[in-house]
């Protein structure tokens, strides 16, 4: 198999040539023996396509089910970027990662990537075999970096994008964590009181059933029901949670529900727009054309309705319609977004404008999260206080009535 290479002979001289070898690893070893520092090695056009075709006919190795989270992808990208930035050749960098890897799944994955690169498959082609670990956006940017010879820059862009994406997601989670914890603890406390505490206090009212106030009767009936059926209630809640987590058309029921929750839907929408803008910006900066970029960035919107509408936008663009004009036909984005996109198109700096839009929405999200956090926490405390207060008053009302009867007697 014939390969073409580019390598440094000394600090000021770069040499290029072709060499006949069995695989890329052999070429690398031969160049190193000659005292050359490889810059790039790739199969001669035509033979590369044949090598890729041969590799695609082979099945990828079986890895444990599941996928990488954002943090795992950041760590992999960070380590690979550090090595490439230190002028370590890609294959050698991957070998070092495999050697130092403690995670079995990751070690198998990197090992398979190394084997396929040695057989002539491109790095992006290897990653595309494992889309559960590497999203299309990631693969596309790596492919662009390989094609332009700027893999280091592509890794740097990906690292910045993934960190921003993860940071925004963590801010949303942190803002909601405390209110959710308070709600769970409050509901648990109310459940324990109704199921186990109140039934022990209810005995003192056995001789006054006819005279019990309505709030007390309602509370005791709820308490008796939970005491008799608490196990069934827990089973029902578990089944409900499993149902909410069940995937319907590729997305969980709870995942769809979040787009309709009054307070959360606005923040989630802004988060989707920010992530979409950032993704589209980094793809365009990497040299990916708008149609391909929309194909990769579109699913990041999350909402199935918006994703489907973006497919229609792609169709309009393929037929010659400007991006901003097509967006104005649909209610995916606000007027501000469309106006900014139009400015970016006219000025030939759409990627920069999309990056600015993303930063604008990220700041809005941070502001909204602070506002919601400052309002939702006292609202939860007030709600729980009202429920527990009702329970206390309902249990005390019969005692007040008894005292008034004694006083009248």
C-alpha 357: how far from its chain's center? 19
- The total of structural domains in the chain comes to 1
Q: How far apart are CA 206 and CA 212, in angstroms?
A: 10
In a domain, 238, yes or no: yes
Strand, coil or helix: 394: helix
Say if CB 305 and CB 199 are below 8 A apart: no
In the β-sheet with 14-20, what is the strand arrangement from edge to edge? 14-20, 2-8, 37-43
Instruction: Report pLDDT for 380.
Output: 85
What are 233's two structure tokens? Answer: 């209630």
Higher pLDDT, 272 or 23: 272
Confidence of residue 52 (pLDDT cuts 50, 70, 90): very low
Q: Is pLDDT of 50 > 50?
A: no
Q: Global pTM?
A: 0.65
Mean of pLDDT values over 301-318: 87
The pLDDT value given to residue 106? 84
Q: Residue 107: what pLDDT?
A: 87
Say if 341 falls within a structural domain. Answer: yes
Q: Percent of the chain, pLDDT > 70?
A: 82
Provide mean pLDDT across the span 282-311: 85
Is residue 258 assigned to a domain? yes
Angle at which helix 151-192 crosses helix 262-285, to 10 degrees, equals 170
Say if 265 falls within a structural domain. Answer: yes
What is the extent of the structural domain holding 216? 150-409
Rounded Cα gap, residues 176 and 279, in angstroms: 25
Does residue 28 sit within a domain? no
Residue 6: count of CB within 10 angstroms of its CB: 15
Length of the chain: 409
- CATH of residue 187's domain is 1.20.81.30
289: phi then psi, degrees, rounded to nearest 5: -70, 160
Given its phi and psi angles, is residue 41 left (phi above 0), alpha (psi -120 to 50 degrees) or beta? beta
Count of other CB atoms within 10 angstroms of residue 396: 12
Give percent above pLDDT 90 in the chain. 9
Phi and psi at 2, nearest 5°, equal -100, 135
Tens of pLDDT, residue by residue over 188-225, are: 888 888 888 787 777 666 655 556 788 888 888 888 88
pLDDT in tens, 229-276: 888 988 998 888 888 777 655 556 666 666 677 777 888 888 889 989
Examine residue 54 and state whether it is found in any structural domain, yes or no. Answer: no
Mean pLDDT computed over 74-98? 89
Residue scoring higher pLDDT (50 or 382):
382
| 403 found inside a domain | yes
Within a domain: 321: yes
Alpha carbons 209 and 135: distance in angstroms, whole number: 65
pLDDT of residue 157: 87
Q: What is the pLDDT of residue 55?
A: 43
Q: What is the pLDDT of residue 66?
A: 56
Decide if pLDDT at 353 tops 90.
Answer: yes
* pLDDT score at 1: 67
Tell me, what's the pLDDT at 38? Answer: 67
Output DSSP code: residue 209.
G
| Three-state secondary structure readout of 241-273 | HHHHHCEECCEEHHHHHCCCCHHHHHHHHHHHH
């Amino acid at each position: 198999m014939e390969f073409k290479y580019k390598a440094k002979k000394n600090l000021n001289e770069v040499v290029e040539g072709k060499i006949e070898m069995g695989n890329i690893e052999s070429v690398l070893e031969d160049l190193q023996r000659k005292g050359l520092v490889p810059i790039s090695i790739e199969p001669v056009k035509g033979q590369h396509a044949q090598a890729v075709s041969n590799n695609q006919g082979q099945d990828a190795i079986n890895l444990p089910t599941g996928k990488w989270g954002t943090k795992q992808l950041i760590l992999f990208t960070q380590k690979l970027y550090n090595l490439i930035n230190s002028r370590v050749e890609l294959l050698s960098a991957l070998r070092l990662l495999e050697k130092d890897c403690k995670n079995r799944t990751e070690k198998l994955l990197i090992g398979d990537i190394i084997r396929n690169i040695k057989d002539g498959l491109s790095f992006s082609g290897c990653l595309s075999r494992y889309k559960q670990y590497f999203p299309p956006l990631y693969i596309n940017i790596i492919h662009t970096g390989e094609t332009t010879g700027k893999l280091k820059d592509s890794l740097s862009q990906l690292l910045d994008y993934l960190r921003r994406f993860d940071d925004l997601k963590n801010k949303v989670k942190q803002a909601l964590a405390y209110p959710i914890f308070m709600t769970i603890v409050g509901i648990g406390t109310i459940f324990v009181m109704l199921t186990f505490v109140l039934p022990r206090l209810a005995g003192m009212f056995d001789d006054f059933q006819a005279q019990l106030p309505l709030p007390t009767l309602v509370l005791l009936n709820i308490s008796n029901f939970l005491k008799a059926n608490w196990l069934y209630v827990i089973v029902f809640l578990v089944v409900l949670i499993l149902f909410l987590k069940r995937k319907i058309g590729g997305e969980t029921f709870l995942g769809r529900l979040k787009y309709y929750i009054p307070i959360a839907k606005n923040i989630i929408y802004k988060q989707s727009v920010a992530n979409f803008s950032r993704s589209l910006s980094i793809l365009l900066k990497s040299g990916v054309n708008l149609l391909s970029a929309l194909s990769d960035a579109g699913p990041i919107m999350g909402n199935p309705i918006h994703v489907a509408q973006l497919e229609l936008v792609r169709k309009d663009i393929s037929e010659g319609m400007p991006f901003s004009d097509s967006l104005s036909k649909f209610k995916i984005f606000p007027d501000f977004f469309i106006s900014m996109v139009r400015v970016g198109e006219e000025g030939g700096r759409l990627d920069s404008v999309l990056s600015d839009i993303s930063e604008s929405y990220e700041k809005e999200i941070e502001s909204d999260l602070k506002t919601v956090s400052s309002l939702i926490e006292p609202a939860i405390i007030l709600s729980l206080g009202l429920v527990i207060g009702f329970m206390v008053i309902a249990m005390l009302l019969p005692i007040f009535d008894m005292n008034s009867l004694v006083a009248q007697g």
